[in-house]
Amino acid sequence: MAFLIYKKTDAGKNVRYERIQPLKLGGANGLIARHVCSLPAGQTASWKLEAAALLSLAGVAGENYGVLFDTSGRDATAACFYELTRLHGSCRETTTNLAMDFNIVLDRALDEFESESPAAFDVPRTEMTKNLGEMLSLTGGPCGGDWKWAESALQIGATVVQSRHTGPPRLNCDRGGKAAKA
């Protein structure tokens, strides 16, 4: 369960995704801490960061890259990848709350011979994207902190989901805020 950089290439009717490297968002030297600490004092209360800008902070530039969140664990029975499109941040002195916008890229059961999520895969191009949102929190802000993943400040402890999916429910994904903390 991690944020990963993938290279995207045109494969005709499909898009090919190939894993490049992990992306460190949390921690004192993580990209979110670096971004928040670079903001002027009046802009830390509310900010947005597109995925391309996040990749640029990581030293990866170009249109053919994406940040994918892999929700698979060690005992996964499905491969579920969500592509990050935007981060919305809200900082207090030593906390940062994040709302993340994702497009669902891959959601399929692993066959009996696959022991882990694929390092490369193809997905069909589609005009209708399936979207979802996730709320996360870090224990760091403009006045300090250790920038570790923390429980979300949501009162009901639920994930906010927005989807344009009109088909049957997707049952393969076992995801949630705890998966992002790994």
- pLDDT at site 148: 94
What phi-psi label fits residue 153: left (phi over 0), alpha (psi between -120 and 50 degrees) or beta?
alpha
Name the residue among 12, 98, 113 with its Cα closest to residue 54. 98
Q: Whole-model pTM?
A: 0.77
Q: What is the mean pLDDT of each run of 10 residues along the chain (182 residues)?
A: 89 92 93 94 90 94 89 71 93 92 84 68 82 90 92 57 47 45 40
Residue with tokens 């995704």: 17
- pLDDT at site 86: 95
CB 137 within 8 A of CB 152: yes
3-class secondary structure, 35: helix
Query: What is the separation of C-alpha 162 from the centre of its chain, rounded to a whole number of angstroms?
Result: 15
**Residue 141, both tokens:** 């802000």
Who's near 147: CB < 8 A, 6+ residues apart?
A: 26, 27, 28, 30, 32, 33, 96, 138, 139, 140
- pLDDT at site 118: 78
Question: What pairing do the DSSP bridges indicate for beta strands 78-91 and 47-50?
Answer: antiparallel
**Residue 169, both tokens:** 């429910």
Question: What is the 8-class DSSP label of residue 20?
Answer: E
Distance CA 163, CA 166 (A): 8
